[in-house]
Chain A
Amino acid sequence: MKKIAVLVEHRQGEIREITFEMLGKAHQLAGSDDEVQALFLGDTSQKELVAKVSPHAHTTLAVYDAALKDFEPLRYGSALEAVLSNADCDLLLMGQTAFGMDLAPALAAKMTMPFTSDVVDIEILDGGVKATRQMYSGKVSAAVSLKEAPKRLLTVRAGAFPAEDVPEVSGEVREIAWSVDGDFAVRKFLSYIEAAVGDVDITQADVLVSVGRGIKDADNIPVAQELADALGGVVSCSRPVADKKWLPKERQVGTSGKTVKPRVYIALGISGAFQHQAGMKGAATIIAVNKDPKAPIFSIAHFGIVDDLFKVLPALTEKVRELKG
Chain B
Amino acid sequence: MDIIVCIKRVPETAEADIVLDAGKKGIDTDGMVFSINEWDNYAVEAAIQLKEAQGGKITVVSAGPEENNEVLRRALAMGADDAIRLTDPAFEGSDAIAMARILAAAIKDIPHDLILTGVQADDDGFGGTGVALAEMLGLPYAALVTDIQLDGDTLTVHRELEGGLEEVTAVKMPALLTIQTGINEPRYVSIMGIRKVAKKEIAEKSAGDLSLSGDDIGVKGSLSQIEGLFFPPVGEGAEIIEGTMDEKAETLVKILKERGGIA
Contacts and interface: CB of A to CB of B under 8 A. Distances in A.
B245 A311 contact: yes
B208 interface: no
Q: Interface centre among A108, A112, A249, A284, by most B CB within 10 Å?
A: A108
Interface stretch (A23-31, A53-61, A188-196): A188-196
Contact of A259 (B100, B140, B156, B163): B163
B22 interface: no
B160 interface: yes
Contact of A143 (B230, B245, B256, B262): B230
Contacts of B158: 193
B154 to A, nearest CB: 9
Nearest to A304: B238
A101 B161 CA distance: 10
B239 A304 contact: yes
Secondary structure class of chain A's binding surface, majority of residues: mixed
B interface, size bucket: 35 or more
A315 B246 contact: yes
B31 to A, nearest CB: 15
Q: Interface centre among B119, B162, B235, B240, by most A CB within 10 Å?
A: B162
Interface residues of A, number: 109
Given A136-B27, A304-B240, A232 B165 contact: no
A304 B251 CA distance: 11
B166 A193 contact: yes
A323 B257 contact: yes
Contacts of A162: none
B142 A305 contact: no
Contacts of B110: none
Contacts of B246: 315
Contacts of A304: 238-241
A102 B131 CA distance: 7
Contacts of A258: 163-164
A1 interface: no
7 contacts: A114-B223, A249-B164, A287-B256, A295-B14, A302-B239, A311-B245, A312-B249
Given A115-B97, A192-B166, A256-B161, 20 more contacts: A98-B144, A116-B224, A117-B128, A137-B14, A140-B231, A141-B231, A144-B226, A146-B225, A195-B164, A233-B261, A244-B182, A257-B164, A288-B238, A300-B235, A306-B240, A315-B248, A315-B249, A316-B253, A319-B250, A323-B257
Interface of A: 11, 72-74, 96-99, 101-110, 112-118, 130, 133-147, 149, 155, 185-196, 206-207, 213, 231-233, 239-240, 242-245, 249-250, 252, 255-259, 263-264, 266, 271, 284-288, 291-296, 298-307, 311-312, 315-316, 318-320, 323-324
